[in-house]
Amino acid sequence: MKITVPLENGYLGDKYTKHASNQFKNQGFPICSFPIQLANVPSNAQSLAITLLDDDAILVCGFTYIHWVAANIDPNVTVIPENASQTQTIKMTLGNNSLPGRLINVVEPELAKHYVGPTPPDKTHQYQLTVYALDTTLNLQDGFWLNEFKQQIKNHILDQTEQKLPVRA
């Protein structure tokens, strides 16, 4: 399986990060998800899933920051279009990002179930996008947690691939 996210000068485009204009933010958080090209998905895949995680955040806040988790994407999709998290132009089950934790005061709970873009405070961070091809559709509802996702994908991963997405501070 192959995935491609376009980069600008070696970095994830500003539109998808803390450098986005206000039209692409909600409560100061970037909310426009980036497009993902998909190729060579296993023919027996029943669904796709994605995670966007920031391990570099461990030094800043003490844990891996979850920016986006989505499951039950049609395996015949060849492009997850820009802003798919908000517009639901393709069907997906949306998991919680790190906003519903007690460390951040989020006024709008819907922010917690969508893409929330990278906002590295200290230096360039390497965000890890992983796409999974699964042999099943997951029994998850919108608002699921990453640990629930990990439990359900055990023994169901046909293929997985990742792309590092650098984002400048």
pLDDT tens for residues 8-65?
A: 999 999 999 999 999 999 989 999 999 999 999 999 999 999 999 999 999 888 899 9
pLDDT band at 110 (very low <50, low <70, confident <90, very high): confident
Specify the higher pLDDT residue, 27 or 109: 27
Question: Against a cut of 0.75, is the pTM above it?
Answer: yes
Domain annotation for the chain: domains and CATH numbers = 2-163 (3.90.280.10)
Mean pLDDT of 118-133: 96
pLDDT attached to residue 101: 66
Model confidence at 105, pLDDT cuts 50, 70, 90, reads: low
- Mean pLDDT of all residues in 118-122: 93
User: Is the alpha carbon torsion for 103, 104, 107, 112 positive or negative?
Assistant: negative
Please tell me the predicted confidence (pLDDT) of residue 130: 98
What confidence score (pLDDT) does residue 62 get? 86
- In this predicted structure, what is the pLDDT of residue 99? 86
For residues 67 and 120, the answer to whether their CB atoms sit within 8 Å is no
